[in-house]
Chain A
Amino acid sequence: MQPILVVLVFATLAAFAAPLGVLPLRSRTAVPPAWLGWANALAAGFMLGAAYVIAETALVDHPVRAAAGALLGIGYTHLSHRASGVGDIDLNQLDEVDPSYGYRILFVSGLHGAMEGLAIGLAMLESLPFGILVALAMAVHNVPEAAVLGSVLRSSGLGPVRTAGLAVAANIGQVLLAIVAFAIVPAIPGLLPWAFGFAVGGLTYLAISELLPEAYDRAGPVSIALVTSVATGFVVLLRGIVR
């Protein structure tokens, strides 16, 4: 298979894992809060692990350009959160939600998915097997993310099919960015460390601002810290195995 097709297939797989998180919500049984917390922590750990591995390649060879790229990634993510008024939004709020909350969640998921797409594309550039692992990690991580999004949208009165559709839609930008990053970044000389840095900064910022705060609220610091560090270590270890 052509490398770019590998990117397409696995990034699409990651995006289409999202409706799996919507399925269990057919009955309106509530997800136990601690589980949501652990799912968030798992997602945060996967993101931090991917950020670490991408940083390992870029920062050691081109520390200044990668760090400048990282600051750009942080600044971009911070400003897009602040400017759109979602900087302090609680992503796992399940009761007393109004429809506008649902759409703001959708917007945040889109932003978040874009950064993940960039990570998948760049990880594929590192090596295809490692990229596939990152895509699978993001697929796993999209499931609980969509579960939250889904239960919010469902409770604001949306049908199951539309909810599943929106969950995919929120992640579809991921596929595009993965392919664009994979195709364009190596074609522009000198762009690589900037792009790697950008993804590292963005992923770190998102893990800290979106995933960890709610996780702590729902399951307490010790179990969250354990799940997060094990998930991070898992990605770092896999990188060692899949060269």
Chain B
Amino acid sequence: MSVLTRWFTPLEGGRREATPASVPAVRKGDALDVADLPSYGFGTRSLMWWGTAGMMAIEGMGFALMIGVCFYLRSLNAVWPSGGDPPDLLWGTVNVVLAVLTGIPNAIIDRAANEQDLHRVRVWLVTFAVLTLCLLPVRWMEFTALNVRGDASAYGSCVWVLLGLHTFNLITNVADTLVVSAVTFKKTVDGKRFVDVAENAGYWWFIIATWIPIYVVIYLVPRM
């Protein structure tokens, strides 16, 4: 949980917002000297955090709107799902459980990155990459078990596009993870890479967090 608190309350621990933990700027005559400030920081001290937050806002808004589209169309249709069974629960449930479980290595990676422990970061990133790659074939199986064609009805279109948008997001994030991991295996690694790893881990929390409502909308709502 300390990892989550680190993400959501950057004012704690060694990553305080208002007063940097390291050497502050020093008066030197007319000037405010910043030569001794750190060259990178974690959490909200890093610009990548803000860029990532922007991405989350954009993609979160996209998902929220798509879910809104599904509910809107559902409100106009007396029968939902229209003509057929709701998607099979098996693969979808397996995948969402797996996704939540990837939170464990993700938390370890997040902590290791914040502590700048290169060895642990490397080991767990490889583990994590393998695990997240497993999510993809399961996602393929989900598509085969939706019990409706995307072009059959508005309901089918909603299911396919919602799952499709999430899949696109998932694929790009798995690719991001692979690239970020690969960089940590270079001969020389500078400290900023730890920030990148931490941000990637933060983004993975977003992937998990958005996975759950999408699972609910696709698999559970048609059964209500």
**Is B one of A's binding partners?**
no
Footprint of B on A, CB under 8 Å? none
